[in-house]
Amino acid sequence: MKTIPLVHKKLSVVLFGVASAFFIPALAGVAPAVAAPSVAGLPDFTDLVEKTGPAVVNIRTTEKAKVSQQGNAATDDEEMQEFFRRFFGAPIPPRQQQPAPRGRGKAAPEAEEEVPRGVGSGFIISADGYVMTNAHVVNGADEVYVTLTDKREYKAKIIGADIRTDVAVVKIEGSNLPRLAMGDSNKIRVGEWVIAIGSPFGLDNSVTAGIVSAKARDTGDYLPLIQTDVAVNPGNSGGPLINMRGEVIGINSQIYSRSGGYMGISFAVPIDEAMRVADQLRTTGKVTRGRIGVQIGEVTKDVAESLGLPRPQGAQVQRVEPGGPAEKGGLEAGDVILKFNGVSIERSSDLPRLVGGTKPGTRSVISVWRKGAMRDLNLTVAELEADKVVKKEEKKPKAEQVANALGMIVSDLSAAQLKELKIDGGVLLEATEGAAARAGLRAGDIILRLNNTDIKDARQFNGLVAKLDTKKTTLLLVRRGDSSQFVTIKPLAQ
């Protein structure tokens, strides 16, 4: 319990835990409160919130769990734990189990019960009930419920979800619903005022304000994110980021946090990219992307100088997929891709976004720097397969594992998993902590290479880690879904 003094010495506000309760005792002779005058130079958000708030919704999801009459829920919280680790840096508290009733010796049959899974936010994009939110808000849910500000609640249908951009669309049955106008995220300016509306910690229609801190942050695989200092917390995910004209310019998606709560940095999916994804989800229920079959890396200053490039730019080809579009088009390892269909590649992250946004089957021109000269190559863009998730297999119970010096617990991949992923070796990341968690690695990632050594199994990997110099940075080749990328990580001192 915390007491916060107000202007009047006899008044106080009492804050109880997370759910706030306010009590102000009646005082004789106290004049009615007078609205504070607006301060010149500061924005007034009242009209903006009044205009946009009704189109922002609360989204709660449930899952079906097997519950016996003893009250034990046979559920698996791993997905929700991963959700909180990934986006908020802290685990969700475990579900409380009810005390078991006294039985008569026989085990009661199990029945399915709908139990709460998570809470998020969203916003209505059409008067007939299409709602946009984050993919991680609805993924894995058995039921999705949408609640409007006037307390009307609808059961929603998931139209589609795209993990790579973290965008999802759900549909409720309604008409003449309030909706938000879409803005142009390409026209946002660093320093402009924005607001976020959502349900942090389940508190419906909470409004926070701030400014755009940066544009085009490379924290997403297929799109640059908008960075703001708007307070965003668990439950805000999927809510709109709104400019002063009342237009949506982004979807609040992630925060940087070491505590599990807001720490001054939040990220939003640009609405232009989100709407392109949403349009495909509404039309086909999925998102189709292009691929050319190369593994790329950043061009450093030293590499640029050694290759004769005037400045560090482009995407360096590290590996060409055998039989893929790039190989058929003549690309080679060591090439530096400088343009794709005439669009300059400033950073390596620009290439997968441009290629991903190209319709499969499109004939494209790639300009590469090879042996001190520029040349154009022609290829046909192929279709990127959907993310492949490693299926969990039944394993015998074993002693509790301890994280290695990189902060990782890994296990061997089965022959079936190797075949499904079309790889010869690697280890499955089971859990992370310390340095590995700070580097952004998470359960489900596949470690393919450590520095220059290909990984075959967990024993070999842990042996190599044990020999690492804890003062030097280590390079890992990590596969997540259908993409592979290099991740730098500094080992923990033992």
Give 229-254 pLDDT, tens digit per residue.
999 888 899 999 999 999 999 999 88
DSSP 3-state of 28? coil
For residue range 373-421, what is the model confidence (pLDDT) as tens digits? Answer: 999 999 999 998 765 544 444 444 444 567 888 889 999 998 888 888 8
The domain ranges of the chain are: 54-91+111-287, 290-383, 408-489
Domain 408-489 annotated CATH 3.20.190.10? no
For residue range 112-138, what is the model confidence (pLDDT) as tens digits? Answer: 777 787 889 999 999 999 999 999 999
Q: Do residues 403 and 433 lie in contact, with contact meaning Cβ atoms separated by under 8 Å?
A: yes
pLDDT of residue 490: 65
Q: Is the pLDDT of residue 478 over 50?
A: yes
The CATH T-level fold of domain 290-383 is Pdz3 Domain (2.30.42)
Q: In the chain, what percentage of residues exceed pLDDT 70?
A: 75
Residues 6+ apart with CB under 8 A from 217: 224, 225, 226, 227, 267
The CATH T-level fold of domain 54-91+111-287 is Thrombin, subunit H (2.40.10)
pLDDT of residue 116: 80
Q: Range with the lowest mean pLDDT among 215-219, 347-351, 379-383?
A: 215-219
pLDDT of residue 45: 94
Q: Please indicate whether the domains covering 290-383 and 408-489 agree at the CATH topology level.
A: yes
DSSP secondary structure code for residue 55 in this structure: G
More confident call, 285 vs 488:
285
More confident call, 179 vs 262:
179
Residues with catalytic function: 136, 166, 237
pLDDT of residue 326: 94
State mean pLDDT over 362-367: 95
Q: Do residues 358 and 341 lie in contact, with contact meaning Cβ atoms separated by under 8 Å?
A: yes
pLDDT of residue 388: 52
pLDDT of residue 483: 67
pLDDT of residue 493: 47
**In DSSP terms, which residues pair with 46 in a beta bridge?**
none
pLDDT of residue 109: 55
Q: Range with the lowest mean pLDDT among 32-41, 225-234, 333-342?
A: 32-41
pLDDT band for position 100 (50/70/90)?
A: very low
